Chain A
Amino acid sequence: MNALEQAATDRFTTLLETKRSVILDTWVDQFLADWEGTRHGNLPPEEIRAQSQLFLDQLHRLLQNNFSHSWQPQSADPIVQLLTQLSETWAKKGLAAAQSTFYILSFKRILLARYLELESDPAAFSAAVAVLDLVLDRLSLVVVERFEMTRERLIKQQSLSLLELSTPVVKIWDHMILLPLVGVIDTARARKITENLLNSIAEIEAMVTIVDITGVPVLDTAVAGHLMKTINAAQMLGTHVILTGMSPEGAQTLVKLGVSLGDITTRGSLKAGISEGLAALGKVIIDGHRRAG
């Protein structure tokens, strides 16, 4: 760093000591005011204040200890860890990415304004800007990156839970469950479906399992293969599997493909499958109207 930059760095260090509380107040107030009405509602001001306080301390330490051009944010740096944690929290709470960037940038503006009160020489001022660019721009990159990583991870998690949601296992009678399959069955979903199904079978001690494929658009060999694996695994747990909802076209196509689903009961409609299942459980459906009449 040249002499001017070193002087600016020292001045910032001093500012962070002498003007610490006023800088903190302005910063936090401005941040909250600028995002008034947006979603910092579930982000308590005290929390922002506490975090900002820590940030000031860490920045102070960073500038004090031989700060130079070669400085790069490392994940082990306390200040980087602090910001990492902050952006993760904000990303999870649903704040906009712009808000986290604005947080650092507004701090930069405030610090520079304070600096100008002490030193108005243009050359010194531009050295000061250079120093702040060096440290704060790099830190704001850390914030943005971490923010996006967290968001992406959240989205992945959400689509995973969608996967689970879209493969519900329904208990329709004592010891009888229904697995309604809807949509495209790829390897990831097939695995999830099998896992859910086996758990449910064990949990309710299902003696009858109805697998309904009305909602499966195309029964190609990949889907049929997944289906067979799922059904075989269920049968191994001792449950009686009934496959329902295969369309006549689907059946024809399977035959042409040369695929046989093996030794399982199939029924055209879900209704027929349920009566079959009840019969297997020793239950009989009685038409109440006729009996009453």
Chain B
Amino acid sequence: MPPETSDALIIPIREQQDVLTARQKARTIASGLGLGIADQTRLATAISELTRNAILYAGGGECQLWDQSDDNTFRIRVEVRDQGPGIDDIALAMRDGYSTSGGLGAGLSGAKRLMDDFEIETSSAGTRVIVTLERSRQESFYI
């Protein structure tokens, strides 16, 4: 896992409004890199899913955003963590349609499909999900 650099953007997640803030900041980073609307939307949606989960299941948490682009690749890394009760059965939680809250149960699995890398760690001390959007600088992906 890459070191947590100091230039991470940290957004406390407590309520709906913070979800919007996190989404907005991520969009700004993505558009600043020249990523198109489609990628911005993916990123915003994944963040929406993870931060909403933090609010709903853990009473809030924190969202960190990094621009880790290098010479060859645009790379935006998002980490959403909370200190909630954790997830009992990750395999089950990752399954499409599984929800303990009467939701669609497609948040975690959907975020995984939307992004290029997905990691999750969970214990009774909390949950941490890290997702990354990666695009080669060579390609063109404007929409």
Contact = CB atoms under 8 A, between A and B. Distances in A.
A pairs with B? yes
A234 interface: no
Contacts of A257: 45, 49, 106, 110, 113-114
A259 B38 contact: no
B106 A184 contact: no
B33 interface: no
The 8 closest A-B pairs by CB, nearest first: A257-B110, A220-B48, A249-B41, A221-B104, A249-B38, A256-B113, A221-B106, A225-B104
Nearest to A225: B104
Interface string A231-249: 0000000000000000111
Nearest to A228: B104
B49 A184 contact: no
B45 A220 contact: yes
B41 A258 contact: no
B95 to A, nearest CB: 11
8 contacts: A217-B23, A221-B104, A225-B103, A247-B41, A248-B38, A257-B114, A258-B106, A259-B106
A22 B114 CA distance: 78
At the interface, is chain B mostly helix, strand, loop or mixed? helix
A259 B114 CA distance: 12
Interface of A: 184, 186, 217-222, 224-225, 247-250, 252-253, 256-259
A258 B52 contact: no
Given A257-B106, A257-B110, A220 B16 contact: no
A259 B104 CA distance: 8
Given A217-B23, A258-B109, 10 more contacts: A219-B45, A221-B104, A222-B52, A247-B41, A248-B38, A257-B45, A257-B49, A257-B110, A257-B113, A258-B110
Given A256-B110, A257-B114, A218 B104 contact: no
B107 A221 contact: yes
B42 interface: yes
Q: Which of B20, B23, B41, B48 has the most CB of A within 10 A?
A: B41
B77 to A, nearest CB: 19
Interface in B19-62: 20, 23, 37-38, 40-42, 44-45, 48-49, 52
A252 B42 CA distance: 9
A227 to B, nearest CB: 11
Q: Which of B38, B40, B103, B110 has the most CB of A within 10 A?
A: B110
Contacts of A250: 41
B103 A249 contact: no
B16 A218 contact: no
A249 B110 contact: no
Contacts of B48: 218, 220, 222
A184 B16 contact: yes
A186 B52 CA distance: 11
